[in-house]
Structures are given as C-alpha cells and as structure tokens.
Structure 1
C-alpha cells in the first residue's frame, strides 16, 4: 500500500461517520428552531461554532470517548449580569421538557445538553449565550466571573481560508493528541493546536506524510526553547493570548510528547522499507492507521528528514518514555 493510500484510509477512519453526522444535524436543526422560536430572535443569531463547522472535527478514538457540537445564541443583548444571561438561556431551553431533562448547568461558559450514548461514544451539545460588542465581535458570560470577548465567526472564517492540507493535518494531530494524552484535561486545547499547525505547516505541501512530519518538526523547534508557554495570539482576536491558561507542567508534558512525535515522523519518512514506515506511522497515530499489507517488506527509497531536523537518536521502548 503506497503511503498516500494509507494516509487517505487513515483520514477516512478518523472522520466522523455518517451516523454521528446525521445525529449532529438532527439535534442541531431541532435545537436551533427551538431557540429561534422561544427567544424570538433571528435564525442568523443562532449558529454553530468550533471544530464541526471549521472542518476539523474527528471521531472519538474509541467508544469510551465522545463527540459534540458547540453553538452560540445571541440572546443576551439587553442583559448586563453574566449570571442572568445563563438564567435566560436555561429558561429558554427548559420550555422543552426534553431539553429540560438533558440540561447540565455545571459548566462555567455554556449550558450543555446531554444525549444518550451510542456506539461511537457519548454525545452532547454545548450552547453559549452571547451579546454583541464592539467591532462586530461578541461577549459571552462566564459564571460568577464576568464577560469575555470572543469572535467565533472570525475564527471560522480564518480556518476556512487555510489551505486544504491545514484541516487534514489538524485532524491527524487531534487523533495523535487523543491517542497520546492520558488525561484530556491536560492535553493541548484544539484552538491552540490549530494555530500552531497554521504557523508550522509547510507552504504548498500536499503530501500528508511530509506535511505531518514537517509540521511536527517546526512546532517542536518553535516550542522547545521555552520553559513556559509562549504567547500565541488568536488570529481572529489579536489581543487574546491563547496560551494564557496553559499550565507550565502541562506545557512541559506536551513538549515531551511533541519531541517524541517529531522523532517518530522523521524516522518514518526516512524508513528503508514501506513496512517499517507503516509501523512507525502506526506507532505515532494509533491503530486507525492501516498496517502494512501481508505479503512483503518492500523497499522504499528513504525520504529526506523534515527541514531543519537533526538526525534522530535511538528511541527507548514505548513504555519507558517520559518515565
């Protein structure tokens, strides 16, 4: 199996299948209609945000995971108190007996609707209340805290303006993150990962293996010199530092994972046989990456390592890495 075919198969495996896609669409269509009617607002004031409309959503790594969709409703235009905005949103949703029993009001920035698990994992919809502010941006309430400026439509526009390889690489690295992190609360946030990928992605590269390896190498080069998370501006909200809440310990853990990933990807590019390359990509990306087909250990000319990356050192067994 040529590497390009293996990556295409991997990409298909980590994309959301038809059933979750249909479930998201059905749940969203019904929810949007409910909010529009009961809040008496325009359909344009209720919209999806986050990875699903941005084209970077991935399916759960296994059935113990979950998939979700994020949404925003501009229902707080005349409300000054952040907690009152949550109350209004909860009241609107509670007009439906079905939504009332699904409500989770424990989240600091949204109201969550929990649905029954299916074969792909748990499923929920997060709804954020919002009000307009300057420059066409929005403000969202944070419980017991205050208002926070945001620009979800601007970030979506920025994502969709990136080259096609951006979304493919982000999805692959999201799966790598989900396979790597022991605790998703300590893993890198999706928005941070996306901005780092945009910075590190080699211009004009369309080969998945090369794009992935080079992006990992460039990200590692960018972060390795820092002991604390460096500033990373939100491209849709330049005054926001996306790494401000990233703890030093979690940042250091991510750098360790990133260093190892860049090394594995470099070795996969330079592997002397197709089977060796497949094995290394599976080591990096998990079992969703297809194994090398039975019947051979065909030679493959080694590719050059990712630009600027030094020759790799011998690697410890997987269970000995990071202590």
Structure 2
C-alpha cells in the first residue's frame, strides 16, 4: 500500500511527495558499518580518533604556551562541524577535513579595553602554532600568512585545524573574535547551545544526518572558493526547515531530506538574509548575487532529484537518481544489480534479453608481462595496475543506449586517502587503476532516454602484493642501441 510522505510527517503547507524507498541506503541504525550514504560521507572511526588525538595534544600545548606569551589565562573550545557532529568527508582527496579549535584569551571587561589588541592575539596564536609544529608529530605546515579570522595548521591524514582567537570575559561569558579587521562579535558556544536546545536527543541525531547530506551535496556541486555556501549557513537553513516539519523523527531519511529541501527552497526565494539565530542583526550569507542565484537554482534542482527518487518504482532506480546529487558517495543496493529493470524496460518499450558482459583486463604498470583478465569481475590483483573495462558486445544493446561508469571505493586505505570514488567516462570502455587494498566496484550504468534500465556491478579485488619491475636486459648497452644490419 502506497502512502505519501505528507501523510506520514509533513505539515499541510509542505505538499505531498511519494514515499521514498531508498531509506536503507541513507542510514541504518542497526548496522553503522554498512555502505550507506551516512557512513560513506562520515570520517571513519580511525580518522575520528586521529583527529581527536591531534586536537587534544594541540590544545594542551597552546594552553600553556600562550599563557606564558600573553600573560592571560587561556581556555579552549572545540567548535564548528566537529563539535556539532556534522563533519563530512571532503568531496575528493585534494581537500581536507576541517576542525575548529577556538583559543580564548581571558580578561575582565570589553575586548577593546584589554591589554592586548586583536592583532596581538592573532600573532600569539600564530607564533604558538609555529613553535608547536617544530616538534609535533604529523604536522605538514602552519599556513603563513594566517587567514583573516584564524590560523591554520595542516596534518598528514588529510585534515587541518583552524585556530580562531577570541577575547573572553569569564564573568559575563561574552566572546569577541580577533580578525584582521579588529574585533568582531562572534559566539560559537552560543550557536552550539542554540542547536542543542532546538531538538531533543532523538531529533538532534536526525538533524545531524540531514545537515551532513546537505553539506555533502554542496561540496560536490561547488568548489570551496567558488560560491560554496558556508557550513553555518547550511546548518541554520537545515535546522530552521526541520523545525517546521512534524514527526520527522519517525520518518526515513530520504523522505525527510525531500521535505527539508522543499522548505529550504521556499525560504531562499524570500530573500538573501540568513539571520544569525543568536545575533539576528548579523546576516550569515556571504555569497555574491550571482552565487546566491546559483545556490537557489542548485537547491531547486536537488529538490527535483529528491521528488523523482522518492517516487521511483524500485530501489535501484531511486539509487540511480540520488547518485545525481551525491555521485560516488551514494551506494547501490547490495543485490545482484546485473539484473534488468523490467519496469523501466517496459515503460521505455525496450527489448533486452540479457546484458552484455564486460571484459576486465589488468596490466601491471611496472611489468606489462603481468596481466590478469576476467569477465564481469577482476582480482585479486596487485596495486599499481591499469584496469581496462570493455563492453564485450555493445551492438546487442538497444539503439540509443549510453553507458556510464562509476568508481565506488571501499575499505580503510581508500578512506584514509579520502578517495571513495569518482564519476568515470561515458562510452563502451574506460580505464582506471588499482591503488588501495580492498574490494571496490566499477558500476556500469546502462541508460536509454536518460533513464537507467540496468546496472552491472563489477567487483575489483586488490591485494597488497608488490609487482617487481620487468627485468632489465642483460645485453651490453651497445647491442641494445645498435640497429639490425
């Protein structure tokens, strides 16, 4: 029996959506290690532990060092996405996890009347980081010059810690941020308390996941310095939208996301001012007019994807639609997806009796004499191989069929490098490489008129074996250089 999302949890002004069927691909409370969207966009437990170890060590060092340098009592406060529990995996291996560790220089009264200026605090923090980096483990660099509102220290393991510096009046519990422009009103503790008080514990967990989905989508759509909405803007929009929906805690994540996007879309079209919930006079939106327009268009497109996915006829069709928003992060169903989607074939009037096979060939880069070949799978193979995927009989496909390739990586090595996959080529063949130990997947998507009618999942098993380079020739150099007579 089909029920609409509205019948389950939406307030009357939201409108009806068909019930989504991909809930288990978003989140499973009883299996946190399953390849769900929430799992794939979150740091692994090993990454989380490493980050915690690093910021704890840094906080301890700076508390003592900056007290000596400034003569002030020093406090620290972990803030931002790590504190909120909404940290997401970077969109690719060239970006880093972000952690925010606030440093608070304490004196009584207003910041302007203290013994140090905003520039003094920034200089103390920058000098403290540089001193720490000389002997600390895992540090790649201290970014110099510092950023406008913080210093940054980068670590191996694909993450950095931003260090904003604040004045804190302990008696009044008031905070002021030190920036290149002087003192700025900013209170990260107050906005965290606002977030905690907005929902009960159960609903807060739902909100965290929805914020992460929104942040992942934004990171995939816009580059960091090319109009990506800030984390705090996305957080405020998500929280305000979820607050307008009823019974969200009992709905599935795909349904909730669709409803939240509809609410956010309506909100964005009412104006560009995103008020700071604990300082209503501050507009959190820093986007240009052009970027704001792009943001609105992006949310509307995202909502359209969500509508289509929630009304899909099968879990596979829904997964394919959600992949338009989340790309390689969105998992495919853990079933034999070499089967044809009969409903889509019928609706598109297509005749396909069986999918063509995919020939998979792996060739070691350092020794091309070492080759592996199989049908619809490959492995175990060593690292550092070129892997060629080729449709065996493309002429058997219906006229107008296109073939798309998606790499979906799994396992600790891929996670450590923040490389869980990417979109591949479009065509009857493509080439990838083996880089991480584990079982990964090349997903071959067959489309007609833009709609997927089948997916063939090709497991790629990679082991840690080393392939020695091809033995050099034992002939003297002059015999290799001379031509035949």
Q: TM-score range by the shorter chain?
A: 0.7 to 0.9
- Paired with 1:249 and 1:267, the residues of 2 have a C-alpha distance of 27
Identify the residue that residue 282 of structure 2 maps to in structure 1: 240
Out of 175-184 and 193-202, give the one that drifted further: 175-184
- Paired with 1:283 and 1:254, the residues of 2 have a C-alpha distance of 17
Q: Aligned-pair distance for 1:275?
A: 2.2
1:6/1:101 CA distance change after superposition, 3 Å:
closer
Contact 2:73 2:105 in 1 (8 A): no
Contact 2:141 2:155 in 1 (8 A): yes
Question: Comparing both chains, which one has the higher relative contact order based on Cα–Cα distances under 8 Å and sequence gaps of 6 or more?
Answer: 1
1:248/1:135 CA distance change after superposition, 3 Å:
farther
Q: Aligned-pair distance for 1:61?
A: 2.2
Contact 1:268 1:276 in 2 (8 A): yes
Question: Does residue 201 of structure 2 align to residue 168 of structure 1?
Answer: no
Secondary structure in 2 matching 1:88: helix
Identify the residue that residue 65 of structure 2 maps to in structure 1: 38
Secondary structure in 2 matching 1:130: strand
Contact 2:77 2:102 in 1 (8 A): yes
- After TM superposition, the structure 1 = structure 2 runs for residues 39-78 of structure 1, keeping only pairs within 5 Å, are 39-40=66-67, 45-75=75-105, 77=107, 78=114
1:181/1:107 CA distance change after superposition, 3 Å:
same
Q: Aligned-pair distance for 1:101?
A: 7.7
Identify the residue that residue 252 of structure 2 maps to in structure 1: 207
Q: Aligned-pair distance for 1:274?
A: 2.4
- Paired with 1:75 and 1:180, the residues of 2 have a C-alpha distance of 38
- Paired with 2:258 and 2:226, the residues of 1 have a C-alpha distance of 25
Secondary structure in 2 matching 1:108: coil
- Paired with 2:43 and 2:217, the residues of 1 have a C-alpha distance of 16
1:183/1:70 CA distance change after superposition, 3 Å:
closer
- After TM superposition, the structure 1 = structure 2 runs for residues 54-133 of structure 1, keeping only pairs within 5 Å, are 54-75=84-105, 77=107, 78-96=114-132, 97-98=134-135, 102-104=141-143, 105-116=145-156, 118=157, 122-133=158-169
Q: CA RMSD in A?
A: 2.6
Give CA-to-partner distance per residue, 1:61-115, whole Å, 9 cap, x none.
Answer: 2212211210111126444422111122223334432369832233011111122
Contact 1:274 1:297 in 2 (8 A): no
- Paired with 1:114 and 1:101, the residues of 2 have a C-alpha distance of 5
- Paired with 2:241 and 2:99, the residues of 1 have a C-alpha distance of 27
Secondary structure in 1 matching 2:227: coil
> Unpaired runs of 5+ in structure 1?
300-315, 319-323
Identify the residue that residue 179 of structure 2 maps to in structure 1: 142
Q: Aligned-pair distance for 1:272?
A: 2.4
Compare the two structures and name the one with the higher strand fraction.
2
- Paired with 1:264 and 1:233, the residues of 2 have a C-alpha distance of 28
Secondary structure in 2 matching 1:246: coil
Q: Aligned-pair distance for 1:184?
A: 4.3
1:98/1:204 CA distance change after superposition, 3 Å:
farther
Contact 1:75 1:89 in 2 (8 A): no
Question: Does residue 44 of structure 2 align to residue 17 of structure 1?
Answer: yes
Identify the residue that residue 307 of structure 2 maps to in structure 1: 266
1:135/1:266 CA distance change after superposition, 3 Å:
farther
Compare the two structures and name the one with the higher helix fraction.
1
Q: Aligned-pair distance for 1:298?
A: 8.0
- Paired with 1:26 and 1:56, the residues of 2 have a C-alpha distance of 19
> Unpaired runs of 5+ in structure 2?
1-20, 28-35, 108-113, 344-448, 452-485
- Paired with 1:56 and 1:166, the residues of 2 have a C-alpha distance of 9
1:273/1:101 CA distance change after superposition, 3 Å:
closer
- Paired with 1:106 and 1:4, the residues of 2 have a C-alpha distance of 43
Question: Does residue 321 of structure 2 align to residue 280 of structure 1?
Answer: yes
Q: Aligned-pair distance for 1:39?
A: 2.6
Secondary structure in 2 matching 1:74: strand
Contact 1:61 1:175 in 2 (8 A): yes
- Paired with 2:105 and 2:142, the residues of 1 have a C-alpha distance of 18
